[in-house]
Structures are given as C-alpha cells and as structure tokens.
C-alpha cells in the first residue's frame, strides 16, 4: 500500500470518530511505529486537525467535518490519473501540494469509489523518455507570485552556461512542455518578456513589492516569437 493510500485509510478511520493508537495502526498496515508517526504528521501538515489524546491515541478535533461533496467513479478516476501525471513533474513543491490536496479530496470519496480508485491507482503507469536529471522546488511559490502580482528576484543559469545572472522579474504565465515548466515573465535586466525554465532557477526570492499588471497575452507572445524567428530566417518555408 502506498503512503497516500494509507493516509486516506487512516483519515477514513478517524472520521468514524474512533481513537486510534500508533500500535494499532502499525499492525493494521504492517509498518513501523516511526512510519505511523510520520503519517500522522503528514495528515496534520495537510490541514487535517489530528489531536493526540494523552495515553489513548489519535482522534480528530471535535467539530471537524468534510464538505458534503460527492464524486462519481469517473471523476475519481480522473483525479487518480492526474496524480500519476503530476508525479512525473520535476517540481517537488507542486507534487507535495497536489498530494496534500488529494488527501483531503479522497477523504470524501464513498467507500466503494475509494476502493475502486485504489485498484485503478495500481493499474496506471506513465513512461517517459530519458531526460535531463534536473528538478525544481519553486513552482508553488512562484504561482503565488503570479496571482498576487509580486516581484520576484531570481538567480538564473542558462543551458550550457556556467554563468549565473541576477534578474528581477514580473511573473505572468507558466506552461509545460516535455515535463519542463517554463515561466514567462517581464525581465527588468533585458527590459522585455523572457522565458525561464523553472528547473534552471538557482535561487529565488518573492518580494512584498507589487508590480502593475502589463496584461500579458500568451497568444500575442508566441505570435511575436514566430514573427521574430521568421525575420531571422527568411529563407525557411
């Protein structure tokens, strides 16, 4: 059983208003006591109010309920499939936040839907060609900078270049291609829109200072890129 599946099962037991001990959970899922402790901390980090009753075990905080949302089996399957695709992302923050969200979502699945979703989870595989072994851990934070119009300072290294440049940027849009996240932003060093591979950002700092939205349009951006390429290569058809 995967950690995510175990967390959902523990949460389901807690929702039944049971008091669970670490020893009981350890035996039920055939894991160590230390693993149970980590699971409980993972639930707490996901926003689930797990309370420790001294000398008794774990339970949920009084009054805690989940939203009365019902998912169909197809909707649950879509989430399970998305989970497999997200796991291929090279950004650790994005994977972590999705898994924590999925814990909360799966906690409202009907038992029959939850059981079938676990079956499907083991029957989906995503393969990908060998790619650069680069990873990032900044996507979730940079997404907040986009929605809140915060300036970001970055240290950036281009491909095949050992030089790291300092940039102050206005982040606008993310897109993904070949499992790589690309950030389109206004670069104050170059005084124009630039594309930055997120896995090549060596360090970043989100500033409290806000920028004025330039109303960036991704279609206009790609049209301008295509026009500039055509001017540089007039003989290509």
Average pLDDT on 65-86 reads 82
Q: Which two tokens stand for residue 138?
A: 């900044």
Residues of the chain with pLDDT > 70, as a percent, come to 94
* Residue 65 domain flag: no
Q: What integer pLDDT is reported at residue 122 of this predicted model?
A: 83
User: What is the pTM assigned to this prediction?
Assistant: 0.69
- Count of structural domains within the chain: 3
pLDDT of residue 237 exceeding 60, the answer is no
* Residue 115 domain flag: yes
CATH, residue 55: 1.10.10.10
Residue 38: which domain range? Answer: 3-60
pLDDT of residue 76 exceeding 80, the answer is yes
Q: Go through 175-189 and write b for each residue having 16 or more CB atoms within 10 A of its CB, e for each that does not.
A: eeeeebbebbbbbee
Do 143 and 217 lie in a common domain?
yes
Q: How confident is the model at residue 107 (pLDDT cuts 50, 70, 90)?
A: confident
pLDDT tens figures, 174-200: 998 887 899 999 999 999 999 999 999
Residues of the chain with pLDDT > 90, as a percent, come to 49
Do 220 and 144 lie in a common domain?
yes
* Residue 85 domain flag: yes
- The sign of the torsion formed by the CA atoms of 140, 49, 37, 120 equals negative
Do 38 and 108 lie in a common domain?
no
Do 52 and 97 lie in a common domain?
no
pLDDT of residue 18 exceeding 60, the answer is yes
Do 158 and 194 lie in a common domain?
yes
* Residue 68 domain flag: no
pLDDT tens figures, 144-180: 999 999 999 999 999 888 899 999 999 999 998 887 8
Do 225 and 151 lie in a common domain?
yes
* Residue 128 domain flag: no
Q: What value does the mean pLDDT of the chain take?
A: 88
């Amino acid at each position: 059983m995967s950690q995510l599946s175990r967390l959902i099962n523990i949460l389901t037991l807690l929702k039944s208003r049971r008091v669970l001990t670490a020893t009981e959970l350890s035996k039920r899922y055939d894991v160590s006591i230390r693993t149970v402790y980590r699971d409980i901390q993972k639930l707490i980090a996901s926003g689930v109010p797990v309370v420790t009753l001294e000398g008794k075990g774990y339970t949920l905080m009084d009054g805690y309920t989940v939203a009365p949302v019902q998912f169909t089996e197809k909707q649950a399957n879509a989430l399970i499939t998305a989970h497999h695709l997200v796991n291929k992302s090279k950004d650790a923050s994005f994977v972590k936040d999705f898994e924590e969200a999925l814990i909360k979502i799966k906690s409202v699945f009907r038992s029959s839907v939850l059981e079938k979703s676990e079956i499907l989870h083991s029957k989906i595989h995503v393969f990908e060609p060998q790619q650069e072994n680069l990873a990032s851990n900044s996507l979730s934070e940079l997404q907040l900078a986009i929605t809140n119009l915060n300036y970001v300072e970055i240290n950036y290294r281009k491909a095949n270049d050992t030089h790291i440049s300092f940039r102050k940027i206005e982040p606008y849009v993310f897109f993904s291609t070949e499992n790589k996240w690309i950030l389109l932003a206004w670069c104050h060093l170059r005084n124009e829109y630039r594309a930055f591979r997120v896995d090549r950002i060596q360090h970043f700092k989100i500033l409290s200072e806000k920028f004025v939205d330039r109303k960036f349009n991704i279609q206009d951006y790609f049209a301008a890129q295509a026009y500039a390429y055509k001017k540089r290569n007039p003989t290509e058809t």
